[in-house]
Structure 1
């Protein structure tokens, strides 16, 4: 191919034919917006390509490869670490948000397959009627961040205390390589195979977990499923020193009980609480009430949160928050008592557990 055709503008024209007007934007406002994350602004991309199928994704990547043009994959745009922002000219943004189909929910073999542009919230809500979820079930930004982006960063939060980061719940990945070839890992890569098992030969699945999108473009991800927990308990503690708070977290992790353990330092606490609004308070309270399993318990827990308000954190130095879940209320209560004793033994003082309730 002549060098004068190996340009981003030349590729843009080709992709507009392949993807249609809705699948390719060279508008200056779109390009600038899609070239920045929450914290950083990169060089402005030459175009934004938005494939809506795996076949379109392959064709886009193949065309870019032939012209030696880089494509930076972008999910929900919730990165704050330059996860996809261009660092030079002649780069295109590969917008993955239109690959947003939940491909299969299999409650017999206990797996779910989704396209990379599905959000964590979308997946959780789709699985809820089946009374299942993924072991790790999303970061704090999961209401808008995508599963493909999360797996590329191997992020952590909900469920990570017990089940590990995103990659630890993955069974298979369908990846488009730099030349447009589609590769499926695990048993999904066999002829007529189903993605029920990860370790089929070398662990190629792990190769693409936490790769920041550098080794291939994730098209589909398969997670294993677990039953939704029957009960959960939360607790919060105040510590006077960072060392005591950190030691409590470490000891709690060794018990392998909590599904989430997280802490705030004084500065972060002030920032978080200052950002919130009356509207967000009302929404959070509504979520607490609806998430308690019964109306009576929901009203009771909601009343506790409302009475505590935000003032209970005013004089807190270092705060530690935990969530325990399980098959029975009795078992969960026993488990959380173990963690409460650890906190107490290190000088922790139990405070109102509004924060883990609301976050959940």
Structure 2
């Protein structure tokens, strides 16, 4: 078995290293030749995982044809807004029925499509077999072999069980579900709610406000997810509630950090320029807002986060407006 991981950021490197240590033949593709050489020669990704030693068994390439040659599975860990371009560029290097495991969370900006549909369109003419990996997992903890549990969504039961076994390690427990749509939407929407929770904390509104945002955020995830064909029980699991709680409360969350800084008065452009990695929730907020308008699904937290990020609304006023909404049943 050979797995090629596309994406040399912290998450892609972590997953690739984890698989290599689990005796799976693994090659990591990184866009930068210097980064690939750093991993091969120094056994470290000094850009995204400094100080973390990588397995001697992990291969690293910047040439996609070399990285993809003979791969049984392709694991996507590039930012969600780059998935279409990446797969379009590499499609002729892939087999007719590639197995794609997506570990990137988001909704495409222009098309408003979840990642499963982006992959299908990018690989039109081929017959991709698709799975989505999502759940409460910080790269900084997984790479240190800390106990982690995630969800794998795959509507092909046989393939799902196969991937569940291939991706699981003693410290990385993978749960299987056939609900691909629920898993991918939970992973995307929670990033937006995490920005909102960070804003609340940055404003000093306390634990009560954060708990309310998490709880009502879960309601938003479920409302949109079910409108798009997800199953309600999925949103109560690891890729829904589990990932939401982690991303809203853990300071390793890039999306939470964006919110914290916004709540403390920093400008979005300055925050993004300071960051070394992508906070998926910033762009997902825009695509999610537009999607909610298209589907006529009410997402009040998302609407206020959108107004802060893209309309310059005062963060404190946005929280007050959330609290001032008409009273209703839970």
Structure with greater strand share of residues: 1
Structure with greater helix share of residues: 2
TM over 0.5: no
What is the TM-score when the length of structure 1 is the normalising length? Answer: 0.29
| Larger radius of gyration between Structure 1 and Structure 2 | 1
